A and B are shown apart, each in its own frame.
Chain A
Amino acid sequence: MSGKPYRLAQGGSLIDRAKTVHFSFDGKPMTGFVGDTVASAVMANGQRLFGRSFKYHRARGVVGVGAEEMNALVGVGDGARHEPNLRATQVELHDGLTAVSQNRWPSLALDIGSIGNKLSRLLPSGFYYKTFMWPRSFWKHIYEPLIRRSAGLGHAPEGRDPDTYEQIQVHCDVLVIGAGVAGLAAAEAAAASGGRVIIADENPRFGGLANIAAGSIDGQPQTEWVGTKAALLADAENVHVLTRTTAINHAHHNHLMLFERLADHDPALLAAGAPRHRLWKVRARQVVLATGAIERPIAFANNDRPGIMLASAARAMIKRYGVAPGVQGVVFTNNDDAYLTALSLKAAGIGVRVVDSRARAEGALADEARNAGIDVQASSVISAVHTTLGGLNVDSVKIAAYRRGQGRVISERQADCDFIAMSGGWNPALHLWCHNGGKIKFDQSLQSFRPDHHRDAIVAVGAANGTFALNDILAEAYAGGKSKRKAPKAQQSEQKPLEPLWFAPATGKYNEGNKHFIDFQNDVTAADLELAQREGYESVEHTKRYTTYGMATDQGKTSNINGLGVLSEATGKAIPEIGTTTFRPPYTPFSFGSIAGVLTKPLFLPVRRTAIYEWHVENGAIFEPVGQWRRAYTYPRAGEDKHSSINREILCVRNKVGLLDASTLGKIEIKGPDAAEFLDRIYTNTFSTLKVGRCRYGLMMNELGFLTDDGVTVRLAEDHFLMHTTSGGADRIAAWLEEWLQSEWTHYRVFVTPVTEQWAQFAIAGPKARDVLAKLSPDFDLSNEALPHMSFREGKLGRYPVRVYRISFSGELSYEVAAPANLGRGLWNEIVAAGEEFGLEPYGTEALHVLRAEKGYIVVGDETDGTTTPIDVGLEGLVSKKKADFLGKRSLEQSHLKAPGRKQLVGLLTEDPNEVLPDGAHAVKTVKDKPPMETVGHVTSTYHSPTLSRSIAMALIQNGRARMGETVSFPLEGKIIRAKIVDPVFYDKEGTKQNV
């Protein structure tokens, strides 16, 4: 039948036959109508084959009507706008659309991977544990790459996403999800009570399955009724109406995410700059789930062939899109609803017969079918599906007599057909109900689960609640929407109950060459589930993981209950005893773009810049990220590489004078009568004894006794301190101080104020530092007597109000000068000008780090790793023995922190002075030919020191301080570096340089 047009001469409530749309599928030009989906349009062009299955590469066509579609996954769009794995049943057609099939090579009709189908004995459940195991080395290099290439979905888009996305947060009184009859009725009822209502539906139009359902409401056809209600809601001031919007997730306290596709259906909107997707974060007082139900396939032999679809999907093809699913069909059912499909097919002039597995096919709909001249066979199942070459098209079926529970075929006969519409009953769409712990119960009449109770304010109405009769749906929905008005009356023929059919026996011996698919997308068959049972994977959660049933992108929408039915028959246990697997969000996949929203590019992580940032840029700085800050790393001149510019900067500080932008240094003001006592609790050393105008280096531990931050704190006044923290620790330490003040020492009268960004701060370091400052007309005495090392002055440098701290992280004579941030750039310019005659150069963070390493100063985060104590780094002298309490004190006394063998900070000098150890390299006890080797410690900082003209390193080595002079070995790729353990202070041990 392939190649012939399948568009019927009339019908199709959603399409506009006056508007032709040109599109392509796998490069083949095709036409459709406005209102078509890719699924309906491609089928209208006579093509049924949409893709290849994941594992066996079997030919597959459209099965579903909407979100449940598991086979017809297509990639849509070109280049950076390509989006893979979209359900063809949900992609709206527009002019110029390009769609491609997936998981096939070299082409859809001729697929080499389908050899997987022949090899299926090698690919049973859990095949990755069983076959392809030997020889062992083959898995990584041969089997896995091969299997990965042949199993897969679509391809990721290429290039940067050109579109914009956004997010919105809203609150509402009632959120109605799903706008079929039940959802519209609930929303109408909720809106009448005056609250703020949002109603969202994943489809472009409201109405749900009303356009393929039977029955009327208040004497109106359902389609008219839903049209009227949708229009009323759109006009209501307190109702927000969202189409093309899928509720993807329900979380605690009624927080939901809705995924709105604003422009996918219309490239003109995208071109005009509309956001492509919008992610709604909704907090609702009440949620009404009107998500409807999803039809179940039937597990019969080779039930996955192209042309076999759900009865609802076949009906939708005719009634919505005017597309024939074929010319001669079989409706295979265990319920009455599928008779509506048979009647629709008949009315459209398509040949059809009904195969009903129930003992008797009676009732209004079966009678109607017979009266219409449709052949109805009860007590029958489809026992075989015959196809054209390659499994591409159905050409006939075998129909066998069947009694409930019968395991094998006794008699059968053949019937020609080119499509099958199957219906195994309907499953309420419980996904959102279950996302956040909603309980469900098994319903015998549905042979499926329905909502039971939920801890959140959420109610399910209509088919989502397992209610299928129109009058009951309306009553339930009006009640769910909290309406005092009476629900309208509906007219609909009564349906007879279904009989469960979990497995239709196949021609011949069980499962020879037959596959009863349960999970189509992951290629899981009834036999796979039974095999898992036999192999001991008895819990349904184990079966699921072993076979991957229900784990595909459709999250088991069509497979979950059918799988439970198979397991129930295999184990003899009732379905509720087997349990059910978890439904996880999202309901359908959604875009990464919508998750990012507008927080991309510069907004992804806003950059913090100091007042001097532009100067750094103008002067050729290379930047490095420090937290959110960008700090100047070094300032290479023309012809210099990084290494030589860093060396130049270091030597300039050592021999002349350097200027560093230290504005990122954390600054916290601590003020109040109890400030000194508070700091005594926070630091390991004592600050209450610090004199006004003096500075002291302090260490902070956390309560575990491990170093967490360090820095110089200044006493500005009796009750006023300025704490410096590491650049990266500023926010964390401010929050930490607040936490202790608020929750532990609540009686302290202390304010903590972070002021990092209020001050621009520069280090002027080097032998000529005082000369530079003197040229800037200070209104205070700069002499060593008046402003000695570790002291502070507030005053003026010319016009600039400044705080000057005589502190040094380089070991040189050094002043840190802080000015209000808005004056920072001006002061910086003046320092640069004043320094010119003294050879002042700016230096960056790398020079800063080498300078401090030469002096053996630690950096918290380099020399410490969260398990390092002050004693480990040789700063025991800064841990008070007098104070009764400070953070970490008691933990530091714990026996294990006092035990011998801890790693201690030492210096390292490599035997070859030109060899720089790699950062993090491990020293080993004994060098062996290959790992494992026992480590005795690791390098924490390592540099080439231009001052010493050789390499230096700091390391944490077991019992390091007792091992001075020993040599340790670092085995590296292809070589062994040997280094001598020495004192970590490499330069000016006496500290004479900084005290001049």
Chain B
Amino acid sequence: MLLIKCPVCGAEGDETDFHAGGQAHVRRPATHDSANITDEHQRDYLFVRFNPMGLHFERWRCDRGCGKWFHAARDTVSMEFKAFYGITELPPAPLMEQAKGPWAEYFADKKT
């Protein structure tokens, strides 16, 4: 039973008080470049997700609290949450640095 803290309202509670929303930072092609989306792009957007061992970024909703979505960085091995951050935000810079595999690729052009 994970212990989660909502970064919007500050409520801390069991994972059953929250709703898991899958992988974070999935880019919806239709919002960003609707003119030219191949079937492969659309497939990846709909179905292809990262499944890393270690640092991972995911979406959660404060279900029994403020109702807001937010992001969480969690280690899938130790189950430790490394950060909770806003739904429109990127992870804290040090975590983007630590990210490995597909996440490192994803954050490569987003670090400032």
Q: What is the interface of chain A, defined by CB distance below 8 A to chain B?
A: 251-253, 255, 281, 283, 455, 703-704, 735, 738-739, 742-746, 884-885, 889-891, 894-895
Q: Cα distance A742–B70 when bound, in Å? A: 9
Question: Can you list, as one digit per residue, whether each of B34-66 has a CB less than 8 Å from chain A (1) or not (0)?
Answer: 100101001000100000000000010100000
Contact status A255-B3, CB under 8 Å: yes
Q: Contacts A738-B67, A885-B34 given: A252-B2 contact, CB under 8 Å?
A: yes
Nearest residue (CB) in B for A255 is B1
Question: Can you list, as one digit per residue, whether each of B78-89 has a CB less than 8 Å from chain A (1) or not (0)?
Answer: 111000000110
Q: Contacts A253-B1, A255-B3, A890-B37 given: A745-B42 contact, CB under 8 Å?
A: no
Minimum distance in angstroms from A321 CB to a CB of chain B = 39
Q: What is the interface of chain B, defined by CB distance below 8 A to chain A?
A: 1-3, 14, 21, 28-31, 34, 37, 39, 42, 46, 59, 61, 67-69, 78-80, 87-88
Nearest residue (CB) in B for A169 is B14
Contact status B42-A890, CB under 8 Å: yes
Q: List 26 A-B contacts (CB under 8 A).
A: A251-B1, A252-B2, A252-B79, A253-B2, A253-B79, A281-B14, A283-B1, A283-B3, A283-B14, A703-B46, A704-B46, A738-B67, A739-B61, A742-B68, A742-B69, A743-B87, A743-B88, A744-B28, A744-B31, A745-B31, A884-B34, A885-B31, A889-B30, A890-B29, A890-B30, A895-B39
Contact status A891-B46, CB under 8 Å: yes
A-B pairs with lowest CB-CB distance, top 10: A255-B1, A253-B3, A251-B1, A742-B69, A455-B78, A885-B34, A885-B30, A890-B30, A252-B79, A743-B87
Q: How many interface contacts (CB-CB < 8 Å) are there between A and B?
A: 55
Contact of B42 among A251, A252, A894 (CB under 8 A): A894
- Please, which residues of chain A bring their CB within 8 A of the CB of B2? 252-253
Q: Contacts A704-B46, A889-B30 given: A746-B88 contact, CB under 8 Å?
A: yes
Minimum distance in angstroms from A251 CB to a CB of chain B = 5
- Please, which residues of chain B bring their CB within 8 A of the CB of A743? 59, 69, 87-88
- Please, which residues of chain A bring their CB within 8 A of the CB of B79? 252-253, 455
Minimum distance in angstroms from B16 CB to a CB of chain A = 10
Q: Cα distance A746–B3 when bound, in Å? A: 28
- Please, which residues of chain A bring their CB within 8 A of the CB of B78? 455
Minimum distance in angstroms from A656 CB to a CB of chain B = 45
Nearest residue (CB) in B for A256 is B1
Q: Cα distance A455–B80 when bound, in Å? A: 9
Minimum distance in angstroms from B61 CB to a CB of chain A = 8
Q: Cα distance A739–B67 when bound, in Å? A: 9
Minimum distance in angstroms from A285 CB to a CB of chain B = 11
Minimum distance in angstroms from B39 CB to a CB of chain A = 5
Minimum distance in angstroms from B40 CB to a CB of chain A = 10
Q: Contacts A739-B69, A742-B68 given: A891-B28 contact, CB under 8 Å?
A: no
- Please, which residues of chain B bring their CB within 8 A of the CB of A251? 1
Add 6 more A-B contacts to A703-B46, A890-B29 (CB < 8 A): A255-B3, A283-B1, A739-B69, A742-B69, A743-B69, A890-B42
Nearest residue (CB) in A for B3 is A253
Q: Cα distance A918–B39 when bound, in Å? A: 39
Contact status A252-B69, CB under 8 Å: no
Nearest residue (CB) in B for A747 is B88
- Please, which residues of chain B bring their CB within 8 A of the CB of A889? 30
Nearest residue (CB) in B for A283 is B3
Q: Contacts A742-B87, A889-B30 given: A894-B39 contact, CB under 8 Å?
A: yes
Nearest residue (CB) in B for A704 is B46
Q: Cα distance A733–B59 when bound, in Å? A: 19
Q: Cα distance A735–B21 when bound, in Å? A: 12
Greatest chain A CB density within 10 A among B21, B30, B39, B88 is at: B30
Q: Cα distance A743–B34 when bound, in Å? A: 18
Q: Cα distance A884–B31 when bound, in Å? A: 10
Q: Cα distance A251–B14 when bound, in Å? A: 11
- Please, which residues of chain A bring their CB within 8 A of the CB of B29? 890
- Please, which residues of chain B bring their CB within 8 A of the CB of A894? 39, 42
Nearest residue (CB) in B for A746 is B88
- Please, which residues of chain A bring their CB within 8 A of the CB of B69? 739, 742-743
- Please, which residues of chain B bring their CB within 8 A of the CB of A890? 29-30, 34, 37, 42
- Please, which residues of chain B bring their CB within 8 A of the CB of A283? 1, 3, 14
Nearest residue (CB) in A for B47 is A704
Minimum distance in angstroms from A847 CB to a CB of chain B = 37
Contact status B42-A255, CB under 8 Å: no
Q: Cα distance A990–B72 when bound, in Å? A: 55
Q: Cα distance A895–B42 when bound, in Å? A: 11
Q: Cα distance A894–B42 when bound, in Å? A: 8
Nearest residue (CB) in A for B63 is A735
Q: Cα distance A745–B28 when bound, in Å? A: 11
Greatest chain B CB density within 10 A among A251, A743, A885, A895 is at: A743
Contact of A255 among B14, B37, B59, B87 (CB under 8 A): B14
- Please, which residues of chain B bring their CB within 8 A of the CB of A895? 39
Minimum distance in angstroms from B12 CB to a CB of chain A = 10
Minimum distance in angstroms from B48 CB to a CB of chain A = 14
Minimum distance in angstroms from A796 CB to a CB of chain B = 35
- Please, which residues of chain B bring their CB within 8 A of the CB of A884? 34
- Please, which residues of chain B bring their CB within 8 A of the CB of A739? 21, 61, 69
- Please, which residues of chain A bring their CB within 8 A of the CB of B37? 890
- Please, which residues of chain B bring their CB within 8 A of the CB of A703? 28, 46
Q: Cα distance A704–B3 when bound, in Å? A: 32
Nearest residue (CB) in B for A887 is B30
Q: Cα distance A252–B42 when bound, in Å? A: 36
- Please, which residues of chain A bring their CB within 8 A of the CB of B3? 252-253, 255, 283
- Please, which residues of chain B bring their CB within 8 A of the CB of A735? 61
Q: Cα distance A884–B36 when bound, in Å? A: 11
Greatest chain B CB density within 10 A among A253, A703, A744 is at: A253
- Please, which residues of chain B bring their CB within 8 A of the CB of A252? 1-3, 79
Minimum distance in angstroms from A744 CB to a CB of chain B = 6
Q: Cα distance A744–B45 when bound, in Å? A: 14
- Please, which residues of chain A bring their CB within 8 A of the CB of B31? 744-745, 885
Nearest residue (CB) in A for B75 is A455
Nearest residue (CB) in A for B43 is A894
Minimum distance in angstroms from B104 CB to a CB of chain A = 23
Q: Cα distance A892–B40 when bound, in Å? A: 14
Nearest residue (CB) in B for A436 is B79
Q: Cα distance A744–B68 when bound, in Å? A: 13
Q: Cα distance A885–B67 when bound, in Å? A: 26
Q: Cα distance A744–B88 when bound, in Å? A: 8
Q: Cα distance A744–B2 when bound, in Å? A: 27
Q: Cα distance A745–B59 when bound, in Å? A: 16
Minimum distance in angstroms from A910 CB to a CB of chain B = 40
Q: Cα distance A895–B40 when bound, in Å? A: 11
Q: Cα distance A894–B28 when bound, in Å? A: 16
Q: Cα distance A252–B39 when bound, in Å? A: 40
Minimum distance in angstroms from B10 CB to a CB of chain A = 16
- Please, which residues of chain A bring their CB within 8 A of the CB of B39? 894-895
Q: Cα distance A735–B69 when bound, in Å? A: 11
- Please, which residues of chain B bring their CB within 8 A of the CB of A281? 1, 14
